[in-house]
């Protein structure tokens, strides 16, 4: 196996014996072959799209779900991968029959063999490093596009679950995948394709924002209890609001408390979700602490998306997966034909387990500062900046992770001066979101914008403020400090770059798949800065302001 798609990759270079995330060589190799198949599908789809033919939505959905399946910490179940591989061959054959005659690459002409053993043998030719002769920068850009597409697919999946999609993004899955296997593309063309991936990331986040805010209304500030309450409970983790809604509907009046976990925390801001009284609070912290926090828990957990870690035996019988998430031996809740899910099993199990015995003292944190809520204060923000009461904004956003080096983000937030505000999004916020930051110019100093896909909300806020100041985003008193871990963060980074945003700090370490020349290009063009120390980066941000 060889995998270097996430930040915790072994030695900062690549996982070769097994994944630091828990991915076995078998899963890694099946994922390589699945991506190879998707590339083959894309090679046949591209000429059809260029001829103006549309690709069946079932095929788009298949490609989207397969890409998402291979994202870090999503699916560790061999059988799901084998099933997707078998389906991929049928789809490839269907498109092959429709595509014009021509010369197609090996990933297109390859035919999947029947057994898992043979698939694993064939997976060798699908590996990222298989072509030893490939130019390092080409490999780097191809990987960046592919990982950006994986992030996009996660957001696309969430939006489609709410019946929203973007035609442009649906086509781009094929165009982007084809670009990662097209030997005719020059470095310059691949750079353009990388930026196009960023544009599509903005587009899919916009669609997801429309889907979430239309279905559940615009988030508004809401206090969330982060301690536990007595009684049976279900913890829901991941990003899919529709799953939360269905769970809330099915548990209403049953005496079960629902806690969000990880990236589900911002759900408390949505009016159509927070109206449920038994959405009682948020449990635990960021994803990497789940094994400790779920250990022997007297309730159930539902994982709707990443990040899933190897479940310990002490809770393996009470954790459930749904959507494309999976772990060998973990119970899975499937989607019914009518588009709903039946959570009876998890509900009964939660009742049987009995839940927490005692209440803890309440501790509340504030969420719900999406673009709508934050921009409702735009006038006051602009006045405060003009009067010198609000000096600078820091967007400290992105993923959390287990590797050392992430204390930088806690320290950075702690050291932000009192006359500055902090915007945050995604699960990296758990490094500091239980601290009391007080207020500045009558506003909370810490504004929780939402999940990782709400990077779109942050862009909306920045763009509106830039308009109010009659300037551009790069001239605002704003510093962006990103923490990355998995491929949604890659999609977010490409989105921000495609919008021309410069001078972002990136950490805790740089992606292993970025070659030295590609890094130089990013530094020269976008002034990307690897994080150094919180003190130095803060000083430099405020000096340049």
Alpha-carbon distance 482 to 489, whole Å? 9
Site for ligand FS2 in 235-294 (CB under 6 A): 262-263, 287
Residue 50 annotated as binding site? no
Q: Which class for 466: exposed (0-12), middle (13-18), buried (19 or more C-beta within 10 A)?
A: middle
Site for ligand SF4 in 168-207 (CB under 6 A): none
- The C-alpha torsion from 394 through 400 and 403 to 409, rounded to 10°, is 20
Q: How far is the CB of 21 from ligand SF4 (least distance, A)?
A: 3
Residue 107 annotated as binding site? no
Residue 263 annotated as binding site? yes
Binding mask 426-465 for ligand FS2 (x = CB under 6 A): xx-----------------------xx-------------
Residue of this chain nearest to ligand SF4 (CB atom): 19
Q: How far is the CB of 72 from ligand FS2 (least distance, A)?
A: 7
Site for ligand SF4 in 220-239 (CB under 6 A): none
CA 343 and chain centroid, separation: 24
Tally Cβ neighbours within 10 Å of residue 467: 12
Binding mask 59-98 for ligand SF4 (x = CB under 6 A): -------------x--------------------------
Please work out the total of residues on this chain that contact ligand SF4, with binding judged by CB under 6 A: 13
Alpha-carbon distance 251 to 330, whole Å? 21
**What residue has token string 């109206």?**
275
With CB under 6 A as the contact rule, which of the stretches 38-46, 269-277, 335-343, 485-493 interacts with ligand FS2?
485-493
Residue 79 annotated as binding site? no
Binding partner of residue 6 among ligand SF4, ligand FS2, none, CB cut-off 5 to 8 Å per kind? ligand SF4
Residue 427 phi/psi, 5° resolution?
-80, -10
Token pair listed for 228: 């536990």
CA 349 and chain centroid, separation: 29
Mention every residue, 6+ apart, whose C-beta is less than 8 A from residue 32: 1, 123, 126, 127, 128
Helix (H, G, I), strand (E, B) or coil at 49: helix
Residue 43 annotated as binding site? no
Residue 539 to residues 385, 408, 416, 527, 533, Cα–Cα distance (Å) = 19, 14, 10, 17, 10
In the complex with ligand SF4, the residue whose CB is nearer, 108 or 518, is 518
Binding partner of residue 260 among ligand SF4, ligand FS2, none, CB cut-off 5 to 8 Å per kind? none
Residue 3 annotated as binding site? yes
Q: How far is the CB of 287 from ligand FS2 (least distance, A)?
A: 4
Helix (H, G, I), strand (E, B) or coil at 439: strand
Which strands form 319-322's sheet, in the order they lie side by side?
A: 279-282, 257-261, 233-237, 300-303, 319-322, 331-333
Site for ligand SF4 in 3-42 (CB under 6 A): 3-6, 8-9, 15, 19-21, 23, 28
Binding partner of residue 218 among ligand SF4, ligand FS2, none, CB cut-off 5 to 8 Å per kind? none
> Is residue 15 involved in binding ligand FS2 (CB under 6 A)?
no
Q: Which class for 193: exposed (0-12), middle (13-18), buried (19 or more C-beta within 10 A)?
A: buried
Residue 420 annotated as binding site? no
In the complex with ligand FS2, the residue whose CB is nearer, 76 or 485, is 485
Helix (H, G, I), strand (E, B) or coil at 167: helix
Residue 300 annotated as binding site? no
In the complex with ligand FS2, the residue whose CB is nearer, 134 or 510, is 510
In the complex with ligand SF4, the residue whose CB is nearer, 74 or 205, is 74
Q: Are 50 and 56 in contact (CB under 8 A)?
A: no
Residue 171 annotated as binding site? no
Binding mask 148-187 for ligand FS2 (x = CB under 6 A): ----------------------------------------
Instruction: Give me the residues paired with residue 279 across strands.
Output: 258
Binding partner of residue 306 among ligand SF4, ligand FS2, none, CB cut-off 5 to 8 Å per kind? ligand FS2
Packing angle of the helix pair 57-69, 136-161 (nearest 10 deg): 120
Among 65, 180, 306, 483, the residue binding ligand FS2 under the rule CB under 6 A is 306
Among 1, 399, 506, 512, the residue binding ligand FS2 under the rule CB under 6 A is 399
Which run of H or E residues covers position 154? helix 136-161
Alpha-carbon distance 478 to 90, whole Å? 50
Q: Are 370 and 520 in contact (CB under 8 A)?
A: no
Q: How far is the CB of 486 from ligand FS2 (least distance, A)?
A: 5
Q: Point out the annotated binding site.
A: 3, 6, 15, 21, 239, 263, 307, 399, 427, 452, 486, 488
Q: Point out the annotated binding site for [4Fe-4S] cluster.
A: 3, 6, 15, 21
Q: What residues line the site for ligand FS2 (CB under 6 A)?
A: 262-263, 287, 306-307, 399, 426-427, 451-452, 485-486, 488
Q: What residues line the site for ligand SF4 (CB under 6 A)?
A: 3-6, 8-9, 15, 19-21, 23, 28, 72
């Amino acid at each position: 196996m060889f995998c270097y798609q996430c930040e915790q990759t072994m030695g900062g270079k690549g996982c070769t014996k097994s994944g630091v995330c828990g991915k076995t060589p078998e899963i890694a190799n099946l994922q390589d072959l699945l991506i190879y198949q998707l590339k083959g599908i894309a090679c046949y789809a591209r000429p059809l799209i260029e001829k103006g033919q549309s690709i069946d939505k079932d095929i788009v959905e298949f490609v989207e779900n397969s890409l998402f399946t291979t994202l870090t910490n999503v699916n560790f179940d061999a059988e799901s991968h084998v099933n997707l591989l078998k389906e991929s061959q049928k789809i490839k054959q269907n498109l092959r029959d429709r595509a014009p005659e021509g010369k197609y690459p090996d990933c297109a002409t390859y035919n999947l063999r029947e057994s898992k053993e043979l698939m694993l043998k064939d997976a060798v030719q699908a590996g990222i490093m298989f072509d030893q002769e490939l130019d390092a920068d080409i490999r780097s850009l191809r990987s960046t596009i592919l990982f950006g597409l994986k992030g996009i697919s996660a957001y696309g999946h969430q939006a489609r679950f709410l019946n929203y999609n973007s035609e442009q993004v649906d086509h781009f899955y094929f165009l982007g995948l084809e670009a990662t296997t097209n030997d005719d593309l020059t470095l310059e063309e691949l750079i353009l394709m990388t930026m196009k991936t960023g544009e599509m990331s903005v587009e899919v986040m916009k669609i997801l924002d429309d889907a979430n805010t239309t279905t559940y209304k615009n988030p508004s500030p809401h206090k969330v209890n982060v301690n536990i309450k007595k009684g049976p409970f279900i913890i829901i983790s991941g990003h899919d609001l529709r799953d939360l809604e269905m769970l809330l509907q099915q548990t209403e009046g049953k005496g079960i408390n629902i806690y969000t976990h990880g990236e589900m925390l911002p759900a408390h801001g949505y009016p159509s979700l927070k109206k449920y009284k038994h959405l009682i609070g948020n449990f635990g912290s960021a994803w990497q602490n789940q094994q400790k926090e779920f250990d022997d828990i007297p309730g159930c957990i539902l994982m709707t998306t990443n990040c899933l870690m190897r479940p310990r035996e002490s809770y393996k019988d009470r954790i459930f997966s749904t959507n494309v998430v999976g772990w060998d031996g973990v119970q899975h809740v499937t989607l019914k034909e009518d588009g709903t899910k039946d959570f009876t099993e998890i509900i009964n199990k939660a009742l049987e387990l009995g839940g927490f015995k005692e209440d803890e003292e309440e501790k509340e944190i504030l969420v719900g500062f999406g673009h709508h809520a934050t921009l409702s204060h735009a006038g006051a923000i602009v006045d405060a900046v003009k009067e010198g009461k609000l000096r600078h904004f820091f967007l400290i956003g992105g993923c959390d992770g287990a590797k050392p080096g992430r204390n930088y983000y806690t320290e950075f937030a702690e050291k932000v001066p009192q006359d500055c505000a902090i915007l945050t999004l995604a699960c990296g916020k758990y490094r500091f979101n239980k601290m009391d930051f007080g207020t500045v110019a009558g506003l909370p100093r810490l504004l929780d914008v939402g999940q990782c896909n709400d990077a779109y909300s942050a862009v909306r806020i920045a763009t509106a403020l830039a308009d109010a100041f009659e300037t551009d985003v790069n001239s605002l008193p704003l510093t962006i400090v990103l923490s990355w871990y998995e491929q949604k963060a890659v999609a977010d980074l490409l989105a921000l770059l495609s919008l021309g945003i410069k001078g972002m700090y990136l950490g805790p370490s740089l992606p292993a798949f970025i070659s030295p020349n590609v890094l130089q290009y990013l530094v020269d063009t976008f002034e990307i800065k690897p994080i150094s120390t919180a003190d130095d980066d803060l000083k430099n941000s405020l000096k340049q302001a």
